[in-house]
């Protein structure tokens, strides 16, 4: 299975995630407890991974599984990072409005590039760095509030803490991604075995979160397991399955591709969602969406296109623009 096929599939699923979530609301609010969705998605992923691992065990060669505690203990770490991340997100939203928050979210693209370089020691060409910055700029452009739209005066007028938390949040989500890639690639263990470990801890942490919410809420609504499926519709189930599937694709990419590929798929998904929303929820298409799409497409091409395809200059243009300096200032002979 080739990485760009998986990446495109991830783009489609991620953008349908946005659409489905909107559709799963009834007149603008959730009839179900949204916190249950990631938990059930983890359970779904765990079931799928376990099944695939089991099937793999039937076949030979027997899948490689490192089971020593030294390795296993690393698998809860991504969940822990995400847990911290969620709380930082919450803190950020106490200082900035949602549109500023959304804009700052694009910082994640750049921080991922940086941590990718620092922790995974993966080197990028200048052009690829420029592509990553352009991707962030492109997604941000598409989100610029059009004229007439509300709540824009507040842009960049929030207290400094807001921006600090926003940056921290961008670093944490990048860290989680980069750490997962490190985990998946650190040895040749079976992807499914790695997934089983990842999702087991994922399920546990999500369960803990539901439990915590109950404590916070003083069990008013009863224990979470009793109201797990309350208000679930077919669409809600599709949201769960969709979220689960995107998770499975992401860990595939983490093992056989990398974080940058993932960042591109999800960024493109965001633009795709905005375009689909124009048709599905007849949003008014903005000039900035159009511009953002062009910038991101260029960025995609800059990052992934083979260098020779980008730079092959037909001879005439080889002596362009550097040669401008050398153009003879000849006043003597005719040409």
Question: Among residue numbers 287 through 306, which ones bind its own copies (CB under 8 A)?
Answer: 287-288, 291, 294-295, 298, 301-306
Under rule CB under 8 A, residue 166 binds its own copies: no
**# chain residues binding its own copies, by CB under 8 A:** 75
Window 312 to 331, contacts with its own copies (CB under 8 A): 312-314, 316-317, 320-322, 324-325, 327, 329-331
Instruction: Choose, by CB under 8 A, the member of 36, 48, 63, 75 that binds its own copies.
Output: 63
Window 112 to 141, contacts with its own copies (CB under 8 A): 121-128, 130, 133-134, 137, 140-141
Looking at beta carbons only, is 124 or 204 nearer to its own copies? Answer: 124
Window 242 to 281, contacts with its own copies (CB under 8 A): 256-258, 260-261
Nearest-approach distance from CB 243 to its own copies, in angstroms: 24
| Structural contact between residues 218 and 50, judged by C-beta atoms closer than 8 angstroms | no
Window 28 to 57, contacts with its own copies (CB under 8 A): 56
Looking at beta carbons only, is 220 or 329 nearer to its own copies? Answer: 329
Window 78 to 117, contacts with its own copies (CB under 8 A): 103
Under rule CB under 8 A, residue 220 binds its own copies: no
Nearest-approach distance from CB 147 to its own copies, in angstroms: 4
Under rule CB under 8 A, residue 211 binds its own copies: no
Under rule CB under 8 A, residue 234 binds its own copies: no
Under rule CB under 8 A, residue 68 binds its own copies: no
Nearest-approach distance from CB 11 to its own copies, in angstroms: 16
Nearest-approach distance from CB 64 to its own copies, in angstroms: 5
Helix axis angle, 259-280 to 126-143, nearest 10°: 30
Under rule CB under 8 A, residue 282 binds its own copies: no
Under rule CB under 8 A, residue 187 binds its own copies: yes
């Amino acid at each position: 299975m080739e990485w760009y096929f998986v990446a495109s599939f991830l783009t489609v699923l991620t953008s349908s995630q946005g659409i489905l979530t909107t559709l799963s609301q009834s007149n603008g609010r959730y009839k179900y407890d949204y916190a249950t969705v990631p938990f059930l998605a983890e359970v779904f992923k765990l079931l799928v991974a376990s099944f695939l691992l089991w099937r793999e065990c039937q076949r030979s060669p027997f899948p490689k599984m490192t089971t020593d505690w030294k390795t296993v203990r690393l698998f809860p770490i991504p969940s822990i990072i995400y847990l911290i991340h969620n709380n930082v997100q919450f803190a950020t939203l106490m200082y900035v409005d949602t549109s500023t928050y959304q804009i700052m979210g694009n910082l994640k693209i750049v921080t991922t590039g940086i941590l990718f370089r620092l922790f995974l020691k993966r080197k990028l060409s200048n052009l690829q760095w420029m592509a990553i910055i352009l991707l962030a700029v492109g997604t941000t452009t598409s989100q610029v509030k059009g004229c007439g739209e509300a709540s824009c005066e507040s842009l960049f007028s929030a207290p400094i803490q807001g921006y600090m938390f926003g940056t921290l949040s961008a670093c944490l989500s990048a860290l989680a991604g980069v750490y997962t890639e490190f985990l998946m690639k650190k040895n040749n263990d079976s992807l499914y075995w790695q997934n089983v470990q990842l999702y087991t801890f994922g399920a546990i942490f999500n369960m803990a979160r539901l439990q915590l919410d109950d404590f916070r809420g003083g069990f008013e609504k009863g224990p979470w397991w009793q109201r797990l499926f309350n208000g679930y519709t077919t669409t809600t189930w599709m949201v769960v399955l969709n979220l689960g599937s995107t998770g499975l694709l992401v860990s595939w990419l983490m093992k056989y591709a990398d974080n940058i590929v993932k960042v591109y798929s999800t960024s493109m998904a965001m633009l795709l969602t905005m375009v689909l929303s124009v048709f599905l929820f007849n949003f008014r298409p903005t000039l900035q969406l159009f511009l953002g799409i062009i910038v991101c497409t260029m960025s995609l091409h800059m990052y992934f296109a083979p260098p020779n395809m980008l730079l092959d200059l037909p001879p005439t243009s080889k002596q362009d623009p550097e040669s401008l300096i050398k153009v003879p200032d000849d006043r003597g002979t005719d040409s």
